[in-house]
Chain A
Amino acid sequence: MVDIRDDLKLIAEMVEANSRVLDVGCGDGALLDYLSHAKNVDGRGIELSMDGVRQCVAHGLSVIQGDAETDLKDYPAEAFDYVILGQTLQAMKQPRDVLEMLCRIGRRAIVSVPNFGYWRVRMQLMLTGRMPVTEKLGYQWWETPNIHFCTLRDFVVLTEEMGITIEQTRIIDRAGRVTSRAHSGFANLLGEQGVFLLRRNG
């Protein structure tokens, strides 16, 4: 069995066995590979980088080269039990539209977001007066693909506005430990990233 990143493990825990899963931005397919072997899911992926796609398909995973912002619209509603978006919402041009699509084509969506309200980020901005560069967000402002940062609170507020229910929350710290299972002001300060299980209301 392959070993996977901590946030991916948390995502995998939210997925029920034998379900249909679409991993948006699946990278080299580590999560899909893990899910198909550990949970017997029917897994698919979309990945922007050709290198990633090639690795995935060469490992027998069903992955297409594509862009979440243009290629998700083709899928029918509730085509999957889970649609996963790991650490890429902040890189989307229209994150709200993407979130909308995730919750349309999946009965549930699992989204992980880096927290711009994390205390180290806040400290850097306050003390140096410059855009934060952290281990997880390791880009200078002029080169970063992450164009739409949010804090965990921002994310929660957006889901409320959109009529999306957060069914599960996992806030994790720099070491990948779960520090909280619910959103709070404190979690927004101490968590480096959040993993959310989402469902559209009604």
Chain B
Amino acid sequence: MSAPLPTAQQHPPVTPAAADGAADDQAMPGKRVRLAVDRPMRLDSGVEIGGFQIAYQTYGTLNADKSNAIFICHALTGDHFVVEKHPVTGKPGWWEMLVGPGKPVDTDRYFVICSNVLGGCLGSTGPKDLDPATGQPYGLSFPIVTIGDMVRAQKLLVDHLGIEKLFCVIGGSMGGMQVLQWAVAYPESVFAAVPIATAARHSAQNIAFHEVGRQAIMADPNWRGGNYLLEGTRPEAGLAVARMAAHITYLSETALHRKFGRNLQDRKAITYGFDADFQVESYLRYQGAAFVERFDANSYLYITRAMDYFDLAADAGGSLANAFRPGGRTTPVRFCLASFSSDWLFPTSESRAIVHALNAVAANVSFVEIETDKGHDAFLLDEPEFHQVIHGFLEGCAEHRGLSVRRRAR
């Protein structure tokens, strides 16, 4: 997802990225662990994968009975640097609005964990890593991963940390899909779930947008059939176009109009050419160029695919309600869903469909649609009402979980 919209004039200069792809993993801050070493993990595709690396970060302190852990699931292009300066971009953490000392996800009270997804490119094993069998980067020989596989890997990490039951799993967009997956796959290991601006399945329109992005990458001659690392090229143009197209879907028409309108970029009149005459063009080009510095093109293919394949109801015999009825009993997980009124990528109707399924099993659920014109990205931005809701929900859950309650007037 994106950072808050900067004005076109404030774009920092884009420096050429290092030729070897994203930054060196091992030099990055954060923690790493090798999982499924003794027994390989079986992916949804049937392929088995063992000894993969998961990069993660933790904030706060785990309490004595290990009951205060909150797992954050990041979105498509997110990572585990939730509340710290990003090692590649130098920007603030992507969820500092919501997470941190005194914030709704209070790192003074909760032990917060976030891991880079399996298939990602910021430290967890993904297509840019070396295949031990060949000694060369996986590229397209990396197995297809699903949201279910990502969560399976996260569960192994949580087991590794000795935590039996997470107090809460929270995330937006693709992170929200993972939250739902957690609640459905491991209902006894999750006390509360907060899926934000998400859906129980990826819509045809969203698959279509992802396909545009993937085709842009594959159409870049530097992609080389996915072997660009081996051949020393970088499909920057394709990846940038993919990011530009996707970026539009994270915003709203109102937000774009408010920010840019038809304003021209550093010029008094149109130039009768194909330069970035308009501020909105310049902004998108900047977003695309900045993105290729920190993201791997093949990783983008794999992760978008994982979202496309996500369909909770299909995995539960065609009924979403069944997904929330493990062993014929109502899910014990307490849910809080939030959507944003101007989000057309994951519109409120998608959240409402999940709420209806949860009602059908009489599950414990809260649901709020937040009024905003900021589109899908609103979950990352300053939305006080949204933050109030998350704060209140977590306080209520903390009370039920027997964690010390500290109500604050906000």
How many residue pairs link A and B with beta carbons under 8 A? The number is 67
In the complex the two chains form, what is the Cα distance from A32 to B80 in whole Å? Answer: 38
**Minimum Cβ distance to chain B for residue A76 (Å):** 6
Those of B355-410 within 8 Å (CB) of chain A: 355-357, 359-362, 364-369, 371, 385, 388-389, 391-393, 395-397, 399
Report whether B359 and A59 are in contact in the complex, using a CB–CB cutoff of 8 Å.
Answer: no
Residue of A44, A53, A54 with highest tally of chain B CB at under 10 A:
A54
Contact indicator B368/A75 (Cβ below 8 Å) = no
- Distance A190 CA – B364 CA, assembled complex (angstroms): 41
Chain A CB within 8 A of B150 CB: no
Whether, in the assembled complex, A133 has its beta carbon less than 8 Å from a beta carbon of chain B, the answer is no
A57 touches B362 (CB 8 A): no
Instruction: Tell me if B364 and A64 are in contact (CB < 8 A).
Output: no
CB atoms of A57 and B393 under 8 A apart: yes
**Chain A residues near B396 (CB, 8 Å)?**
59-62
- Closest CB-CB distance, A72 to chain B, in whole Å? 9
Which residues of chain B are within 8 angstroms of A42 by Cβ–Cβ distance?
364
Residue in contact with B393 in the complex, picked from A60, A71, A76, A79, CB distance below 8 Å: A60
Cα–Cα, bound, A59→B392 (Å)? 5
Given known pairs A75-B360, A76-B361, the reply for A65 and B368 (CB within 8 Å) is yes
Provide the residues of chain A in CB contact with B155, threshold 8 Å. Answer: none
In the complex, the answer to whether A71 meets B392 with C-beta atoms within 8 Å is no
Pair A57/B360 contact, Cβ less than 8 Å: no
Complex Cα–Cα for A105 and B327 (A): 22
Report yes or no: A74 in contact with B389, Cβ–Cβ below 8 A: no
Q: Is the Cβ of A58 less than 8 Å from the Cβ of B360?
A: no
* Cross-chain contact of B369 among A50, A58, A61, A75 (Cβ < 8 A): A50
Q: B235 CB to closest chain A CB, in angstroms?
A: 43
* B224 sits at the interface (CB 8 A): no
Judging by beta carbons under 8 Å apart, are B366 and A61 in contact? yes
The interface size bin for chain B is 20 to 34
Complex CA gap A63/B352 in Å reads: 13
- Contact (Cβ within 8 A) A58 B388: yes
B365 touches A64 (CB 8 A): yes
Asked if B32 lies at the interface with its beta carbon under 8 angstroms from chain A, I say no
A50 to B368, CA, bound (A): 7
Q: Which residues of A contact B361 (CB under 8 A)?
A: 76
B355 is contacted by which of A64, A79, A80 (Cβ under 8 Å)? A64
Interface flag for B34 (CB, 8 Å): no
A66 at the interface (CB under 8 A from B): yes
Chain A residue, CB-CB nearest to B389: A57
Please determine whether B362 and A53 come into contact, CB atoms closer than 8 angstroms.
no
A65-B369 CB under 8 A given contacts A54-B385, A74-B356, A75-B360: yes
Cβ of A71: which chain B residues have Cβ within 8 Å of it?
A: 356, 359
Identify whether the interface residues of A are mostly helix, strand, loop, or mixed.
mixed
- B residues less than 8 Å from A65 (CB atoms): 367-369
Cα separation A184 to B352 with both chains bound (whole Å): 43
B190 part of interface (Cβ distance < 8 Å): no
Are B362 and A79 touching (Cβ within 8 A)?
yes
* Minimal Cβ-Cβ distance residue in B for A105: B362
| B239 interfacial by beta-carbon distance below 8 Å | no
CB distance from B396 to the nearest CB of A (A): 2
B357 CB to closest chain A CB (Å) equals: 8
Q: What's the nearest-Cβ distance from chain B to residue A21, in Å?
A: 12
Q: Would you call B336 an interface residue if the criterion is a C-beta within 8 Å of the partner chain's C-beta atoms? A: yes
CB of A167, distance to nearest CB on chain B (Å): 23
Instruction: With A50-B371, A62-B366, A65-B367 as known contacts, state yes or no: A57 contacts B336, CB within 8 Å.
Output: yes
A62 contacts B365, CB within 8 Å?
yes
* Shortest Cβ gap from B146 to chain A (Å): 28
Q: A44-56 vs B: 1/0 string, CB under 8 Å? A: 1000001001101
B368 touches A57 (CB 8 A): yes
| Chain B nearest Cβ from A56, distance in angstroms | 8
- Give A57 to B365 CA distance when docked, in angstroms: 10
Instruction: Tell whether, in the assembled complex, residue B360 and residue A64 are in contact, meaning their CB atoms are under 8 Å apart.
Output: no
**A132 CB, nearest partner CB in chain B, Å:** 35
Q: Cβ of B334 < 8 Å from any Cβ of A? A: yes
- CB <8 Å contact, B369 and A60: no
**Residue of chain A at shortest CB distance from B339:** A65
Say how far B178's CB is from chain A's closest CB, in angstroms.
22
Please, which residue of chain A has its CB at the minimum distance from the CB of B391? A58
Assuming the contacts A62-B364, A75-B360, asked whether A54 and B388 have C-beta atoms less than 8 A apart, the reply is yes
With a 10 A CB-CB cut-off, give which of B359, B362, B367 has the most chain A CB atoms. Answer: B359
Chain A positions within 8 Å of B365 at CB level: 44, 62, 64
Judge whether B369 and A74 touch: CB under 8 Å: no
Residues of A within 8 A of B367 (CB): 53, 63-66
**Max chain B C-beta neighbours (<10 A), residue from A58, A65, A71:** A58
Chain B, residue nearest A63 (CB): B366
Cα-based distance from A54 to B310 in the complex (angstroms) = 29
B369 proximity list for chain A (CB < 8 A): 50, 65
Q: Which residues of A contact B (CB under 8 A)?
A: 42, 44, 50, 53-54, 56-66, 71, 74-76, 79-80
Known pairs A58-B388, A60-B393; list 13 more (Cβ under 8 Å): A42-B364, A44-B365, A50-B371, A53-B367, A56-B366, A57-B336, A57-B389, A58-B389, A58-B391, A65-B369, A66-B352, A66-B367, A79-B362
User: Which B residues lie at the A interface, using CB under 8 A?
Assistant: 334, 336, 352, 355-357, 359-362, 364-369, 371, 385, 388-389, 391-393, 395-397, 399
Ranked 10 nearest A-B pairs via Cβ: A60-B396, A58-B392, A79-B362, A64-B367, A74-B359, A58-B388, A57-B366, A74-B356, A57-B389, A74-B360
